[in-house]
């Protein structure tokens, strides 16, 4: 819906700008133009957020067709889809900052319960991608590989970076892991949200497709953020 249309969206909420995790740059719904889209948080509450956070063409199309690839996920379970999306978002943010010159710490074997050596060869390294939060986040970078992922544990993060799934044999269900990751993000002032990008056909097939977003945590009725664009 238009941000300044005849129908007024009351429950507006800022979201983390793409590439804004390091420094917490938020983008807020405008009252002077642009479009809004409905997002939901893990509690099921609905919020209006800037459509530009979800689609690349929202400023030029009344019905945008090109979702941003970062945080876009598809799974046969809602928790799994949200996990995949937040993993991609956290890992991509770390990778992007490293590409821009931020020195990420190199991870050693002691961070993992299994030997990470099979994932490393030559000059390929595993980097700690946590940017002002405690969710285990891994960036795998080398001459012929660039991958990223996050999860409840370092093993889950590394396996998700390489294979887009949690570590094999994990006793934690997607809903339990999502709750753990959400709790860690909440301690850092962030919460998980999503925009439903499914279709009727996908829903009939039991497929969840969404764009995962990061909200500033609400404390005492106030949305907590550092700065907005």
Rounded to an integer, the average pLDDT of 45-67 is 89
Rounded distance, CA 37 to CA 48, Å?
5
Compute CA distances 114 → 81, 84, 104, 124, whole Å.
Answer: 25, 22, 22, 18
Domains held by the chain: number: 1
Q: Does the residue 3 lie in any domain?
A: no
Token look-up 């993000």 returns 185
3-class SS of residue 225: coil
Q: Does the residue 9 lie in any domain?
A: no
Q: Does the residue 152 lie in any domain?
A: yes
Q: Does the residue 10 lie in any domain?
A: no
The residues near 146 (Cβ < 8 Å, ≥ 6 apart) are 95, 139, 140
The pTM assigned to this predicted structure is 0.90
Structure-block tokens of residue 145: 């590989």
Q: Does the residue 2 lie in any domain?
A: no
**Domain extent at residue 98:** 15-228
Q: Does the residue 85 lie in any domain?
A: yes
17 pLDDT above the threshold of 60: yes
Rounded distance, CA 17 to CA 128, Å?
21
Q: Does the residue 207 lie in any domain?
A: yes
Q: Does the residue 21 lie in any domain?
A: yes
For residue range 119-134, list pLDDT tens digits in order. 887 789 999 999 999 9
């Amino acid at each position: 819906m238009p941000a300044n249309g005849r129908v007024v969206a009351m429950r507006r909420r800022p979201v983390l700008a793409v590439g804004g995790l390091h420094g917490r740059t938020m983008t807020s719904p405008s009252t002077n133009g642009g479009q809004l889209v409905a997002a939901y948080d893990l509690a099921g509450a609905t919020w209006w957020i800037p459509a530009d956070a979800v689609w690349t063409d929202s400023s030029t199309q009344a019905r945008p067709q090109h979702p941003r690839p970062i945080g876009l996920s598809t799974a046969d379970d809602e928790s799994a889809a949200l996990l995949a999306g937040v993993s991609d978002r956290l890992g991509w943010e770390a990778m992007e900052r490293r590409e821009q010159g931020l020195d990420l710490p190199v991870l050693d074997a002691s961070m993992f319960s299994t030997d990470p050596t099979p994932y490393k060869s030559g000059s390929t390294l595993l980097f700690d991608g946590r940017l002002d939060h405690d969710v285990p986040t891994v960036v795998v970078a080398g001459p012929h590989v660039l991958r990223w992922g996050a999860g409840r544990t370092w093993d889950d993060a590394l396996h998700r970076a390489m294979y887009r799934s949690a570590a094999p044999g994990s006793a934690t269900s997607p809903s339990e892991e999502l709750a753990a990751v959400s709790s860690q993000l909440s301690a850092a002032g962030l919460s998980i949200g999503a925009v439903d990008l499914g279709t009727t056909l996908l829903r009939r097939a039991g497929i969840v497709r969404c764009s995962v977003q990061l909200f500033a945590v609400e404390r005492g009725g106030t949305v907590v953020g550092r700065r907005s664009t």
